[in-house]
Amino acid sequence: MQSPLFTDFYQLTMMSGYLEAGKDKQNSVFELFFRKIPQQGGYCLLSGLEPALEYLENLQFSAEEIEYLASLKLFNQAFLDQLKGFRFRGNVWAIPEGTVVMPHQPLMRIEASLPEAQLVESALLNIVNFNTLIATKAARVVQAAGADSQVLEFGMRRAQGPDGAMSASRAAFIGGCAATSNSLAGMRYGIPVRGTQAHSWIMSFASELESFRAYAHRYPDSALLLVDTYDTLGSGVPNAIQVARELREKGHKLAGIRLDSGDLAQLSISARQMFDEAGFPEVRIVASNDLDEFLVESLRAQGARIDTWGIGTQLVTSKQEPALGGVYKLVSIEESGGWRPCMKISSNPGKATSPGVKQVYRGLSQDGFVGDVIAMASEAAPEGNCSIHDPLFVTPHRLEATHFEPLLEKVMEGGKRTRPAPALTEIRQRGLDQLSKLPVGSLRLHHPASYPSGLSDELYELRRKLLLSARG
């Protein structure tokens, strides 16, 4: 959706207002963050940065777009003329894609003139919110599946629109999925593609056995047979075993079967036993049917013998909680006397923001991540141990780290990337590495341990001072 009109209309009316008020050159800093981890989880896995940068880099108004705005009879010519030369020329700092992130941490920082920073808000939120939502969901499913089984993303038919499917395939791969069923995502992003067969294939033949044979003939070394069209254990699995024998005689191997209905725990255990007894321990069992991380965890606890999980709707829509509530807030503005830190005061204390330009320092020890400090960007990294503050609580928390690393990097300078986009496999690997360093309690699906993340002494004090002066 590479169009500057892919934005909330008020961004355009405000841009025109900034011009009229002589504020169109005024510099500002906005930060993008979220307040709550979806599904009461223990972490989010950041995704969407590279698509966001691509959007920023290519932003310009076409003649048709300016004509459309003119047709609304709301904007004056001076503004429409200015749009012709519009580009995003700001600086961007961001946490790399595939990083574990926590509430209230600035994920992206936009340093730009007010109109530029304002125009891009809606698209940046759209991209980062959805990609992070799905990468996080995928990571949860992959963690639940464990290292000895694979997760495939099969969701496009129930995704929220075509791009809902495309973005979801990319983000699910970053979250650790092994492959997608979405062929276009395969081509565009280089994600491995996988698929089995549909009930319609089986039903289009006179018999199930005939349909299995035809498929195995075409794919003698990669056929995954769908065994639940008529009777999973009564006909599907026996017919698949028959085809496995025929393939073996010709020097080939049946790749596997797919279970798509019924009691997946019981059926997979029985099917595994039938294949093992028939001498086919290598035939893999794929399971699908509206699965999510909780069902995967439960099926494993029940001893299900499932090698590969096909996860669709629940993954690509993050069905239990289908939106990440990321926001984009003005944190500092340049005035004649210098920069003024801004914060949104709110009658709801949880909605008040933290003022000023920020950096996140992640504390590390030999065991991995120990906690994060949200600090003023002007602060140096803490040396060794330090305190962090929950903005709403009085008592600070003590972090004991061997050292701290800054998470935000400058990724765009004057509207140009500072480095090429990393490969998707690299981003995916980063995600897997990051999760392996998170305290194991924070990976739990149920009542995860809260990972320590809070404000530095300095930021906490500034926030308190501004809040009190606003209310005084």
Scan residues 2-31 and list those touching a second copy (CB under 8 A): 3, 5-14, 16-18, 20-21, 23, 26, 28, 30
Q: Is 351 in the site for a second copy (CB under 8 A)?
A: yes
Query: Exposed, middle or buried by CB within 10 Å (0-12, 13-18, 19+), for 91?
Result: middle
Q: Is 239 in the site for a second copy (CB under 8 A)?
A: no
Q: Is 83 in the site for a second copy (CB under 8 A)?
A: no
Q: Is 47 in the site for a second copy (CB under 8 A)?
A: no
Quick one: which of 54, 57, 65, 246 contacts a second copy (CB under 8 A)?
A: 65
Least distance (Å) from a second copy to the CB of residue 351? 7
Q: In this structure, what DSSP letter does residue 299 have?
A: H
Q: How big is the site for a second copy, counted in residues (CB under 8 A)?
A: 105
Quick one: which of 35, 40, 198, 436 contacts a second copy (CB under 8 A)?
A: 198
Residue 146 sits at φ, ψ, to 5 deg, of 80, 170
User: Hey, what are 156's tokens?
Assistant: 């496009």
Footprint of a second copy on 109-128 (CB under 8 A): 114, 118, 121-123, 125-127
Quick one: which of 25, 35, 157, 248 contacts a second copy (CB under 8 A)?
A: 157
Least distance (Å) from a second copy to the CB of residue 300? 23
Quick one: which of 77, 85, 148, 200 contacts a second copy (CB under 8 A)?
A: 200
**Which of 156/370 has CB closer to a second copy?**
156
Least distance (Å) from a second copy to the CB of residue 51? 9
Site string for a second copy, 380-419 (x = CB under 8 A): ----------------------------------------
Contact 116, 88 (CB under 8 A): yes
**Which of 5/364 has CB closer to a second copy?**
5
Least distance (Å) from a second copy to the CB of residue 380? 28
Amino acid in the structure at residue 447: H
Least distance (Å) from a second copy to the CB of residue 162? 3
User: Hey, what are 408's tokens?
Assistant: 């935000």
The CA-based angle 164-308-169, given to 5 degrees, is 15
Rg for the chain (alpha carbons), in Å? 26
Contact 433, 45 (CB under 8 A): no
**Which of 126/456 has CB closer to a second copy?**
126
Compute the distance between CA of residue 142 and CA of residue 162 in angstroms, rounded to an integer: 24
Residue 50, number of CB atoms within 10 A of its CB: 22
Footprint of a second copy on 258-317 (CB under 8 A): 261-262, 313, 317
Residue 102 sits at φ, ψ, to 5 deg, of -125, 165
Quick one: which of 86, 189, 230, 339 contacts a second copy (CB under 8 A)?
A: 230
User: Hey, what are 403's tokens?
Assistant: 């050292």
What are the C-alpha distances in Å from 8 to residues 3, 11, 113, 217? 12, 6, 18, 53
Contact 386, 131 (CB under 8 A): no
Contact 136, 38 (CB under 8 A): yes
Options 81-89, 228-236, 293-301, 403-411: segment touching a second copy (CB under 8 A): 228-236
The CA-based angle 246-248-253, given to 5 degrees, is 110
Options 180-188, 382-390, 421-429, 451-459: segment touching a second copy (CB under 8 A): 180-188
Quick one: which of 325, 349, 384, 441 contacts a second copy (CB under 8 A)?
A: 325
Q: Is 348 in the site for a second copy (CB under 8 A)?
A: yes
Q: Is 164 in the site for a second copy (CB under 8 A)?
A: yes
Q: In what order do the strands lie in the sheet with 150-153?
A: 179-180, 150-153, 308-311, 284-287, 256-259, 224-226
